[in-house]
Amino acid sequence: MSGGGKGARDLWGGHYSSGPAPLMERINASIPFDKLLYAHDIVGSQAHARMLAAVGIISATDRDAILVGLDAIRADIEAGRFEFSTALEDIHLNVEARLTERIGEAGRRLHTARSRNDQVATDFRLWVRDAIDRADRALAALVTALLDLAEVHAETVMPGFTHLQAAQPVTFGHHLMAYVEMLRRDRGRLADARRRLNECPLGAAALAGTSFPIDRTMTARELGFARPMANSIDAVSDRDFALEYLAAAAICAVHLSRFAEELVLWSTPQFGFVRLGEAFTSGSSIMPQKRNPDAAELVRGKAGRMIGHLMALLVVLKGLPLAYSKDLQEDKEGVFDAAATLELCLEAMVGMLGTLQVDTARMRAAAGVGYTTATDLADWLVRVRGCAFRDAHGIAARAVRLAEQRGCGLEDLTPAELAGIDPRLDPGVREVLGVERSVASRTSLGGTAPDRVREAIAAARAELAST
């Protein structure tokens, strides 16, 4: 990797008489990872060259040589013909040195009115902006998959849990729509981050701005930024745009992790609510019956590193004096890994959902286990008998205790047993004790009734189509 010949010190080391220690080269070089920025570095330099020519700082001939030279370098990199050099530290110096090799003198004019400090901040913003757009598309695909599944299961009854104890029956569609809501907010967070990120650092130079008559609005526009960043010191020193991306990505990863955990639970023989396709599970070399939900486990596990990347960059930035310090070179690897991990997890979830077999009979049977309609019994006492809810709750609790003792369901208690619990209880209550009836009655806004779920699906589809 280390190039013979040219090193970074040939580009900036006029006042240096010796080369770096080999260890310095190892700790200092970012090229092993920041070569990922090549495309953004090249478009950034091309915008800069166009601007320099537009304001008369370089000639049109030099500009054209630079533009063509950079295009050729991009083609070389993409064809695997570019030899990256650790002696040239980073992607910026690698590209610039190669440009000068190709086009001579004009290449040496490109770095006018610019520093690697504003250059790297620009490249990295462009890269994170693309990562946000990729994540948004992947999120939209997962939302679509969830909506399709929720539609099929708008009426499928399953147990809803609190404390992982059977609580009240819900519809599977409603449960899935909870994740749709989380992912909608994840998209919103990414969109917010993108809006704040979308200002251009280029022209801040090292930290103070430049004495050349540059046109920062032009470079900002060329690169699709809304405007130049207002303060040159801020432009080269903050990485809050990367933090916001990492935070949004980590929150999304936590959402995916919770969903993955539910897939793991639901696919156990004990729950048996779903079966994951062979394509996303693995067998065991010793236990022939096993179907392990590896992909779901990995989505669950990878949330750990996503959270770690956010923490790592927060710690790098805390206490760092303005403006640029080399610590900031530590900003990239975590973001690159977070983006790759997030996109992989989102795609894996779509893949898993595509193979999901839902055992609706098993879900329905489980929905009634654990006296999950005890609240319906209490609500009936309030609605039909005019009880206060606190009293109704006590009566329902006694009914549950008796049914537990008898080992039967609430609906199996005899008229005499019901009357023995409280004279206001009679067999008329049985009509609210079925799980279908229970979910159908939850018609409050945002509730689990199938009609409400279908409304929520329609609203989410409309929103998805408009974004």
Cα four-point dihedral sign 10, 13, 18, 23: negative
Q: DSSP E strands: which ranges in 144-237?
A: 157-162, 165-171, 199-200, 227-228
237 is catalytic: no
418: its two tokens: 């019901």
Residue 144 C-beta: closest distance to ligand ARG, Å: 37
Residue 116 C-beta: closest distance to ligand ARG, Å: 4
Helices and strands, counts by H and E, the chain: 20, 6
- For tokens 């939209």, the residue is 140
Q: Residue 391 burial (CB < 10 Å; 0-12/13-18/19+)?
A: middle
Nearest to ligand ARG of 90, 376 (CB atom): 90
**Contact assessment for residue 362 and residue 272, using Cβ atoms and an 8 Å cutoff:** yes
Rule CB under 6 A: choose which of 329, 341, 373, 448 binds ligand ARG: 329
Amino acid identity at 408: C
Q: Which stretch binds ligand ARG (CB under 6 A): 48-56, 115-123, 255-263, 407-415?
A: 115-123
Nearest to ligand ARG of 88, 349 (CB atom): 88
Nearest to ligand ARG of 187, 239 (CB atom): 239
- For tokens 């050099």, the residue is 85
Residue 30 C-beta: closest distance to ligand ARG, Å: 4
Query: By CB under 6 A, what part of segment 74-93 binds ligand ARG?
Result: 90
Rule CB under 6 A: choose which of 43, 120, 126, 177 binds ligand ARG: 120
Nearest to ligand ARG of 61, 325 (CB atom): 325
Nearest to ligand ARG of 86, 117 (CB atom): 117
Measured distance CA(384)–CA(368) in Å, rounded:
22
3-state secondary structure of 290: coil
Rule CB under 6 A: choose which of 49, 200, 214, 328 binds ligand ARG: 328
Measured distance CA(408)–CA(400) in Å, rounded:
9
Q: Which stretch binds ligand ARG (CB under 6 A): 113-121, 193-201, 242-250, 437-445?
A: 113-121
Active-site pick, 15, 17, 18, 163? 163
Q: Reduce the secondary structure of 140-164 to three states and give it as a string.
A: HHHHHHHHHHHHHCCCCEEEEEECC
Nearest to ligand ARG of 121, 366 (CB atom): 121
Query: By CB under 6 A, what part of segment 4-43 binds ligand ARG?
Result: 30, 34
**Contact assessment for residue 443 and residue 449, using Cβ atoms and an 8 Å cutoff:** yes
In degrees, rounded to 5, the angle at the alpha carbon of residue 441 between the alpha carbons of residues 438 and 443 is 135
Q: Which stretch binds ligand ARG (CB under 6 A): 54-62, 100-108, 116-124, 378-386?
A: 116-124
Q: Which stretch binds ligand ARG (CB under 6 A): 114-122, 163-171, 306-314, 387-395?
A: 114-122
Nearest to ligand ARG of 117, 267 (CB atom): 117
Rule CB under 6 A: choose which of 45, 46, 117, 156 binds ligand ARG: 117
Cα four-point dihedral sign 124, 130, 131, 136: positive
The answer to whether residue 324 forms part of the interface with ligand ARG (CB under 6 A) is yes
Query: By CB under 6 A, what part of segment 93-112 binds ligand ARG?
Result: none
Q: DSSP E strands: which ranges in 256-303?
A: 274-275
Residue 106 C-beta: closest distance to ligand ARG, Å: 23
- C-alpha distances out from residue 272 to 78, 262, 298, 358, 359, Å: 48, 12, 20, 9, 7
Nearest to ligand ARG of 84, 324 (CB atom): 324
**Contact assessment for residue 123 and residue 94, using Cβ atoms and an 8 Å cutoff:** no
92 is catalytic: no
Active-site pick, 59, 282, 284, 325? 284
What is the length of the chain? 467
Residue 206 C-beta: closest distance to ligand ARG, Å: 7
Q: Binding-site residue total for ligand ARG (CB under 6 A)?
A: 9
Catalytic sites, residue numbers: 163, 284
Binding residues for ligand ARG, rule: CB under 6 A, are: 30, 34, 90, 116-117, 120, 324, 328-329
